[in-house]
Structure 1
Amino acid sequence: MDSKESLSENVKKLQIDDDDDDNDDTSNNSSSSSNLSDSSSEEEDALPNFNVAMWDFNQCDPRKCSGRKLSRLKLIKTLKIKQRFPGLVLTPTGEKCVSPADREIVTKKGIAVVDCSWARIDETPLAALKPAHGRLLPFLVAANPINYGKPLQLSCVEAIAATMYITGYKKEAKFYLDKFSWGHSFLDLNEEILEIYSKCSDSKDVIVEQTKYIEKEQKLQEDRHNICDFPSSSDSDSED
């Protein structure tokens, strides 16, 4: 994985000046340079100090794949299919949910995600990865254009950002999501429950809070449905 310094250089390269015309106003140039410098400094500060990686099974449309975009931006390392990863691995074969208790693993060894199609999950050789720290994500709602509004069917960047957020790396999570026009929607949809997860003690606590949240949301939906089905006063009071 590239070091933070290498990632910082990449971020600087992404800083594009939209004004290609010559400008003799030195005060404007100075202000523009200052703004770019501040922006670059903020982005460098948000770069994670740990490895972020993925296994790419080449099952997704490369034009829509968030993992591929992160790779192009040098924000994720692509692993070989049989290559082991020592850190936290987001995989359907995990036996525990991501929790704040995983922060030390993330800090020291990083995060890896499996980039594959949800439609082809059964034919993906996930067992071959044999992660030391396999984890599942708790209930979250997708905001990516392909699976918007669907529970659990997150894109690579959503899964990575959720893990960062839950383990206390909120600034880094936002930094990754900001690379996508729809990224802010993921936090808009999930901020309440992400905050709850981020305050849990361990995986068991996350499951408890997940259950409470789902039950609450189901109750709200039932109440809304009952209100919609309740006959209006004009119907009940109408004369024959």
Structure 2
Amino acid sequence: MSARNRGKGKRGGGAHGQYRNVKTNRNCERQLAQRACDLVGDDSDSSSSSSDAGIDGIGHPPDFPIAMWDLNHCDPKKCSGRKLARLGLIENLRLGQKFPGLVLTPVGVNCVSPLDKDIVGAAGVAVVDCSWAKLEETPFNRMRSPHPRLLPYLVAANPINYGKPCKLSCVEAIAATLYICGYVDEAQWYMGKFSWGHSFIELNETLLNSYAECKSSEEIVRVQNEYLEKEQAAHNKPKDFSEFYPTSSSSSDEEDDDKDIKNNCVETNVK
């Protein structure tokens, strides 16, 4: 076989192999989600001028540091933290390096609250860029801060975990913290770097505004729990389909129509 034919065979085999293992709708949906993320990643690699053109006028950058510990768990093309790093909008921290500001970490005890505004304004915000599937092997003890925090209930809008509660990307976690602490313009500025970024604030606007009005971490937890209880109650409430039922007037109209048909039949038989 010639080199040209071998090349064609490999290309055909590769295309066939790509779809050979697609056996369920779930696999198809996963591939579509991954393709959506690839498209977002392609957009992030475009020229800086075209990227900036889409975010002019949306908020403004913070005057305090934004940082992250990158554990290299994520696909660089789909990682929001990596994109921020490429744009020079986030500082990379080393393992063992202490961050003086607020750190979003699963080992935190208290929720982010408006009480943290001064901490954020003075020393900034840091996130841990790791995979949700590898939390157990993540060395959180080597990412130290005097202000570890948790985020309250929010829904992800990123292409990988869209609609899933609490599965936020790095930029979503940063933006949520900034928004709750009163830095709304800065939050919008960061989300404006992503084509899907506006969806995050739109999906969570009611909750974010409610959290931003709280006075303490305890109050945020209470607001969160009340919201979840209402959502659960609404979910369990029996559906009311009465508006789709025929009304009495429509029923009487149908009866009149039936009478007209019968009368016509009688008149026809009489003739």
Q: Same fold by TM (over 0.5)? A: yes
CA contact (8 A) 2:102 2:147 kept: yes
Residue pairs, 1:91-240, within 5 angstroms:
91-223=105-237, 226-227=238-239
Report the alpha carbon displacement of residue 196 of structure 1 after superposing the two structures with TM.
0.2
Q: SS state of the match for residue 112, structure 1?
A: strand
Task: Give the structure 2 partner of residue 59 of structure 1.
Answer: 73
Q: Give the letter aligned to residue 116 of structure 1.
A: C
1:94-148 Cα offsets, whole Å, 9 max, x none, are 0000000000000000000000000111110112223210000000001111111
- In structure 2, what is the Cα distance between the partners aligned to 1:148 and 1:16? 25
Deviation beyond 2 Å, 4+ runs, structure 1: 13-17
Q: SS state of the match for residue 67, structure 2?
A: strand
- In structure 2, what is the Cα distance between the partners aligned to 1:83 and 1:129? 7
Task: Give the structure 2 partner of residue 14 of structure 1.
Answer: 48
Aligned residues: 198
Task: Give the structure 1 partner of residue 256 of structure 2.
Answer: none
Q: SS state of the match for residue 62, structure 1?
A: coil
Q: Give the letter aligned to residue 213 of structure 2.
A: K
Q: SS state of the match for residue 227, structure 1?
A: coil
CA distance 1:128–1:229, shift in 2 (3 Å): farther
- In structure 2, what is the Cα distance between the partners aligned to 1:128 and 1:186? 30
- Select the residue among 85, 93, 110 that pairs with 2:99: 85
User: Where does the alignment leave 5 or more consecutive residues of structure 2 unmatched?
Assistant: 1-46, 247-271
Normalising by the residue count of structure 1, what TM-score does the alignment of the two structures yield? Answer: 0.77
In angstroms, what is the RMSD of aligned CA positions? 2.2
- In structure 2, what is the Cα distance between the partners aligned to 1:16 and 1:216? 43
Report the alpha carbon displacement of residue 14 of structure 1 after superposing the two structures with TM.
3.1
Normalising by the residue count of structure 2, what TM-score does the alignment of the two structures yield? Answer: 0.69
- In structure 2, what is the Cα distance between the partners aligned to 1:181 and 1:188? 13
Q: SS state of the match for residue 68, structure 2?
A: strand
Task: Give the structure 1 partner of residue 250 of structure 2.
Answer: none
Q: Percent identity?
A: 54
- In structure 1, what is the Cα distance between the partners aligned to 2:81 and 2:178? 16
- In structure 1, what is the Cα distance between the partners aligned to 2:200 and 2:245? 39
Larger-gyration structure (1/2): 2
Report the alpha carbon displacement of residue 229 of structure 1 after superposing the two structures with TM.
9.1
Q: SS state of the match for residue 215, structure 1?
A: helix
